[in-house]
Amino acid sequence: MSAEGPSPLLPMPACAHRPRRYSGPSAKEVLEARRHYCNPALLTYYEKPLMIVEGHMQYLFDERGRRYLDFFAGIVTVSCGHCHPRIVEKIAAQTETLQHTTTIYLHPNMPLFAERLAAKMPDGLDVTYFVNSGSEAIDLAILMARLYTGSADVIALRGGYHGGGSATPRALTAHSTWKYPIAEGGPMHHTFSPDPYRSPFSGSPEEIARKSVEEMADLIRHATPGRVAAFIAEPITGVGGVTSGSPEYLPLAYDLARRHGGLCIADEVQTGFGRTGESYWGFENSGVVPDMVVTAKGIGNGVALAAVTTKREIAEALTERLHFNTFGGNPVAMAAGLAVLDVIDREGLQENCRVVGGFLKRGLAELQERHPLVGDVRGMGLMLGVELVRDRETKEPAGPETAAVLEECRKSGLLLGKSGFFGNVLRIKPPMCITKEDAEFALSVLDRAFGAVEGGVAPKKREK
């Protein structure tokens, strides 16, 4: 890339797939029907909402057949690629045989998938309960923690996101820390994130990690009865802005929680299944072993599937309550989960995350050197974040500019996400099958987008 300015825009890598001719309602008609008949709380990206009608691996197609490189993966739900042929084949075969049966009957797919999942976990984490969504899985994990420990208080990180279930509304700290009353079933407490970029503490990442744990200890002393049910954390936050602390943070936080009787829950909804590259699970990058692991999104490559994997003695606590999930363990969902594990291993997707993700992160760091809009580049593998600021010294969030960058990228065929409390962090979490050529194209698009926004495309006033 030239030091004088944005490099020429690279062409999008070739794709042999040709989308079907679309003959349905127009985007305008769909938008009007959605506004009239669907819940108004639903959000869309972009000034002109984008309509997607087909997907193939890392690419999406709109109703006109235009191709986009998906760097958001349906909010990290598509792990192996849109409509991956092997996964589609396995889902279709199971659908033709038996579409649904509940767990009151036996079916081979559920115990087979649970066994395969246990083989990917540390020793002792070998019992799984399947549900439909990450929110439901988090609710279930917290319920089990409260039953097992006899305590009610749960500690989460400020800036974390753990779904929107009934047990966790105040865990939605990335967006809504003070919006909800105390959660039903017991209080939720929030401790400082070890994120070194916006921490209230000063020092090295290691010093900030230690100070963050000291603050958590103070929180336990003053805001709980001295015992807690659980400490829950994402190894790298998703909605919270792709933040994480020093690798020594989780060992210290886990030790503190356990000394106060709590269980440690790893929220791997976005970091799991090799996305961080170096390890299959995000928590492994910190050298810890949780008591429960919550998985969702990429576990089913777009199929509604989630899971809580834990130790036998913790799982036994759930027998104290009647808990039944009509679709948990559904044979089609289990077939999808089994196919996902096969594809990740056979196609070396974890290694691809490490190699292509490393290349992409280095390229983003180069863009940071040339674009003052870029305040921080962070993350691992193919779970990366780029925080945009108006001033690197004050770290004033560049929220409107971030929205403008997304618009510029869309024009060039690149789809990104955004996150963070201020909506100023680009979320880069593509399907794990992307290539180096895809990464090069994305970097060229971002280079031009940053330059355009720095040149005055973005609004000058903060959004109200």
Q: Are residues 288 and 380 in the same domain?
A: no
Tell whether the model's pLDDT for residue 463 goes beyond 80.
no
**If pLDDT is split at 50, 70 and 90, which confidence band does 171 have?**
very low
**If pLDDT is split at 50, 70 and 90, which confidence band does 166 have?**
low
Question: Cβ distance 382 to 275 under 8 Å?
Answer: yes
Number of domains in the chain: 2
Q: Is residue 439 part of a domain?
A: yes
Percent of the chain with pLDDT over 70: 92
Question: What CA–CA distance (Å, rounded) separates 285 from 7?
Answer: 35
Q: Are residues 271 and 409 in the same domain?
A: no
Residue 319, classed as helix, strand or coil, is helix
Domain boundary among 319, 346, 373: 346
Q: Are residues 169 and 179 in the same domain?
A: yes
What does the pLDDT read at residue 183?
41
CATH assignment of the domain containing 42: 3.90.1150.10
User: Tens digits of per-residue pLDDT, 181-229?
Assistant: 334 457 999 999 999 999 999 999 999 999 999 999 999 999 999 999 9
Q: Are residues 118 and 173 in the same domain?
A: yes
Which of 76, 24, 85 shows the shortest CA–CA distance to 53?
A: 24
Q: Is residue 78 part of a domain?
A: no
Q: Are residues 353 and 339 in the same domain?
A: no
What does the pLDDT read at residue 173?
40
CATH assignment of the domain containing 250: 3.40.640.10
Domain boundary among 301, 325, 346: 346
Q: Are residues 393 and 449 in the same domain?
A: yes
Q: Are residues 341 and 364 in the same domain?
A: no
**If pLDDT is split at 50, 70 and 90, which confidence band does 4 have?**
low
Q: Is residue 462 part of a domain?
A: no
Q: Are residues 334 and 354 in the same domain?
A: no
Which of 117, 55, 61 shows the shortest CA–CA distance to 81?
A: 55
For residue 195 the two structure tokens come to 């994120």
Question: What CA–CA distance (Å, rounded) separates 377 from 425?
Answer: 9
What does the pLDDT read at residue 289?
98
Question: What CA–CA distance (Å, rounded) separates 79 from 125?
Answer: 23
Residue 308, classed as helix, strand or coil, is strand
Helix ranges (DSSP H) in 310-435: 312-315, 331-346, 349-370, 399-411
**If pLDDT is split at 50, 70 and 90, which confidence band does 352 have?**
very high
**If pLDDT is split at 50, 70 and 90, which confidence band does 5 have?**
low
Domain extent at residue 390: 27-70+348-457
Q: Are residues 328 and 357 in the same domain?
A: no
Q: Is residue 9 part of a domain?
A: no
DSSP designation for 301: T
Between the two ends of the chain, the Cα-to-Cα distance in Å is: 36
Paired sense of beta strands 306-310 and 292-295, if any: antiparallel
Q: Are residues 253 and 330 in the same domain?
A: yes
Q: Are residues 95 and 59 in the same domain?
A: no
**If pLDDT is split at 50, 70 and 90, which confidence band does 2 have?**
very low
Question: Cβ distance 448 to 6 under 8 Å?
Answer: yes
Q: Is residue 463 part of a domain?
A: no
Domain boundary among 294, 327, 346: 346
Question: Cβ distance 238 to 125 under 8 Å?
Answer: no
What does the pLDDT read at residue 7?
67
Which of 424, 286, 444, 285 shows the shortest CA–CA distance to 360?
A: 444
Question: What CA–CA distance (Å, rounded) separates 276 from 278?
Answer: 6
- In this structure, what are the phi and psi dihedrals at residue 393, rounded to the nearest 5 degrees? -75, -50
Global pTM reads 0.93
Q: Is residue 17 part of a domain?
A: no
Q: Are residues 111 and 158 in the same domain?
A: yes
Q: Is residue 136 part of a domain?
A: yes
Question: What CA–CA distance (Å, rounded) separates 258 from 256?
Answer: 5
Name the burial class of residue 242, with classes exposed (0-12), middle (13-18) and buried (19+) by CB atoms within 10 angstroms of its CB: buried
Tell whether the model's pLDDT for residue 178 goes beyond 50.
no
Q: Is residue 80 part of a domain?
A: no
